[in-house]
Amino acid sequence: MPMLRWVAVWRRNLRVWRKLALPSVVGNFGEPLLYLLALGYGFGAFVAEVQDMPYLMFLASGIVCASAMNAATLEGLYSAYVRMAVQQTWEGILATPLSVRDVVLGEMAWTGTKAVINSAPILIVAAALGAVHDVSALWVLPVMLLLGLCFGAMALVVTALASSFDFFMYYSTLVITPMFLLSGVFFPLSVLPAWVQGLAQGFPLTHAVAVARPLMSGQPLEAPWGHLAVIAAYGGVAVIWAVWLLRRRLLR
Partner 1 sequence: MSGARGLPLPPSAAAEAVVRAAGLTKVYGGIAAVNGVDFTVERGECVGLLGPNGAGKTTLLRLILGNTYPDAGALEVLGLPVPARAGEMRARLGVVPQFDNLDPDFSVAENLRTYGSYFGLGRAALAARVPALLDFAALTERAEAKISALSGGMKRRLTLARALINDPELLVLDEPTTGLDPQARHLLWRRLRELTVAGKTLLLTTHYMEEAERLCDRVMVMDRGTILASGSPADLIRAHIEPQVVEVFGAGADAWLAARGAGQVERSERVGESVLCYVREERPLLDALAAEAGLRFTHRRANLEDVFLKLTGRELRTAS
Binding stretches for partner 1 (CB under 8 A): 2, 5, 8-9, 11-12, 15-16, 19, 87-89, 91-99, 250-252
- Tell me the residue type at 204: P
> How would you class 115 by CB atoms within 10 Å of its CB: exposed for 0-12, middle for 13-18, buried for 19 or more?
buried
The residues with which 50 forms a beta bridge, in sequence order, are 53
Nearer to partner 1, 15 or 166 (CB): 15
In the complex, the smallest distance separating the C-beta of residue 2 from partner 1, rounded to whole angstroms, is 7
175 secondary structure, DSSP code: I
3-state secondary structure of 163: coil
Shortest Å distance, C-beta 160 to partner 1 = 16
How many angstroms separate the CA atoms of 20 and 206, rounded?
Answer: 32
Least separation in angstroms between CB 164 and partner 1 = 19
Q: Shortest approach of partner 1 to residue 186 CB, angstroms?
A: 36
Nearer to partner 1, 42 or 97 (CB): 97
- Residue 104 Cα distances to 11, 110, 116, 139, angstroms: 13, 10, 19, 26
Q: Which is nearer to partner 1, 99 or 172 (CB)?
A: 99
| Residue closer to partner 1, measured from CB, 9 or 66 | 9
The CA distance from 58 to 188, in Å, is 9
- Cα–Cα distance, 247 to 122 (Å, whole number): 37
Shortest approach of partner 1 to residue 20 CB, angstroms? 8
Nearer to partner 1, 96 or 173 (CB): 96
